[in-house]
């Protein structure tokens, strides 16, 4: 496969952009080799600058649930563009978008639009702190909530401890307010709450983890978290940037039957454009300026183009609820093919899947938290990734990322992927 133009662009990009890319995973450091520079997407396919075609299983990391460049979203954006790209003033579509989100997700009584998932999670935590008049938060090892300082924290020498900065530029003072628990380990949360009684403002988690590969919570874990937060007056935040409108119309909270106090969104609500949102109980959201004292603002929040794309995406979901059955059918077919291949080849593996989110780990052990995910053979994944790339299948260039399927994938796409999977691992 010729990727000479991509190689040239990467070398040129490194002169002007740190690492040659504007988001680290794109640099292929986890799998080695040269990143592929894309030129366009259409349906289930991506096309690079050298003219190579790929069946896409990233979908821009989640938002392209309908595939690339669906006509109804393109039409909505072009129509909005005729009236202008940004006003810095409120528009009717912002109100319509808020009404639509609150109608689709019962736990959301009020919502604020922002420009990214990071903004959404950062703002949700700030509001939770303002609402409770507390400063500490609990997050989980392996859950990623964007690059705000208080999220870039890892556990210290023990799992039940104050966090330590996970990136230069994050202060120890910031880290002191972030407590780290283990995913799917309710006892670790109980101990943190006991040690910090009355000091914890919020508990935030990915209801399905997508950033250590797909990791699914147990029923007891989720129910226990809800019970603890209710009892202790802790704001329970679901980070549904990935899962929102992907797993179901009402997101992961609909799937699990759990009602969080606040929810963050991104990805699909932008229809492929940069958008985030956070919302929840009215009494919490009314703490936001200009109603309340908690400040949050954004010049491009509620951008007309992004609102048009997001409104088109969510309206399509509302009018076509069968898309989730279709996604389940396609992803189940892919998973079944993979399992049959791996059994024939005698490979040690674990496949974690929920709806149209799926990950394959090269390990014999169940994967249920960060520690178990880290046991996966990342060198084998890197080899597998390049084997698939060479066969025209575009996967996440890192073991610890979810794959995302779209309704645009055809039966032929899936069969080609299963065949490539067998060949790449043979």
Is 406 in contact with 44 (CB distance < 8 Å)?
Answer: yes
Residues pairing with 113 in the sheet: 277
Tell me if residue 57 is catalytic.
Answer: no
| Number of other CB atoms surrounding residue 323 within 10 Å | 18
Tell me if residue 239 is catalytic.
Answer: yes
Catalytic residue among 48, 177, 185, 239: 239
Structure-token pair, residue 143? 């859950």
Query: Which residues lie below 8 Å from residue 66, measured CB to CB, with a gap of 6+?
Result: 73, 313, 316, 323, 406, 407, 408
Q: Whole-angstrom Cα distance, residue 399 to residue 381?
A: 6
Catalytic residue among 45, 136, 139, 267: 267
Tell me if residue 267 is catalytic.
Answer: yes
Candidates 113, 34, 88; CA nearest to 274 is 113
Catalytic residue among 54, 144, 183, 368: 144
Catalytic residue annotation? 144, 239, 267
């Amino acid at each position: 496969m010729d990727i000479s133009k991509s190689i040239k662009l990467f070398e040129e990009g490194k002169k002007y952009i740190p690492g040659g890319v504007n988001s680290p995973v794109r640099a292929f450091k986890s799998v080695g080799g040269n990143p592929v520079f894309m030129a366009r997407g259409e349906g289930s396919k991506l096309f690079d600058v050298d003219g190579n075609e790929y069946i896409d299983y990233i979908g821009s990391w989640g938002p392209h649930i309908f595939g690339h460049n669906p006509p109804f979203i393109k039409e909505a954006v072009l129509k909005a563009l005729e009236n202008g790209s940004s006003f810095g003033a409120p528009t009717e579509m912002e109100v319509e978008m808020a009404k639509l989100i609150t109608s689709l997700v019962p736990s959301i009584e009020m919502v604020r639009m922002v420009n990214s998932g990071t903004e959404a999670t950062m703002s949700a935590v700030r509001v939770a702190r303002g609402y409770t008049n507390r400063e500490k938060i609990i997050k989980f090892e392996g859950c990623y909530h964007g690059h705000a300082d208080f999220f870039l924290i890892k556990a210290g020498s023990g799992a039940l401890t104050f966090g330590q900065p996970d990136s230069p530029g994050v202060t120890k003072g910031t880290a002191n307010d972030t407590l780290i628990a283990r995913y799917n380990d309710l006892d670790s949360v109980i101990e943190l709450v006991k040690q910090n009684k009355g000091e914890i403002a919020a508990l935030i988690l990915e209801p399905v983890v997508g950033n250590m590969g797909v990791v699914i919570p147990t029923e007891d874990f989720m129910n226990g978290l809800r019970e603890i937060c209710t009892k202790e007056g802790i704001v329970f935040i679901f980070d549904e940037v990935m899962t929102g409108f992907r797993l179901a119309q009402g997101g992961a909270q609909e799937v699990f039957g759990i009602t969080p106090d606040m929810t963050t969104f991104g990805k699909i609500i932008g229809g492929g454009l940069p958008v985030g949102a956070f919302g929840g109980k009215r009494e919490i959201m009314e703490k936001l300026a200009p109603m309340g004292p908690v400040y949050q603002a954004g010049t491009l929040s509620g951008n007309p183009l992004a609102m048009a794309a997001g409104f088109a995406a969510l309206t399509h979901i509302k009018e076509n609820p069968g898309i989730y059955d279709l996604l389940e059918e396609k992803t189940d077919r892919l998973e079944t093919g993979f399992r049959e291949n791996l059994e024939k080849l005698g490979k040690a593996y674990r496949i974690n899947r929920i709806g149209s989110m799926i990950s394959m780990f090269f390990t014999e052990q169940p994967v249920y938290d960060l520690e178990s995910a880290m046991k996966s053979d990342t060198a084998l994944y890197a080899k597998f990734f390049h084997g698939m790339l060479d066969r025209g299948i575009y996967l996440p260039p890192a073991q610890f990322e979810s794959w995302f399927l779209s309704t645009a994938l055809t039966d032929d796409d899936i069969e080609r992927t299963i065949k490539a999977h067998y060949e790449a691992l043979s």
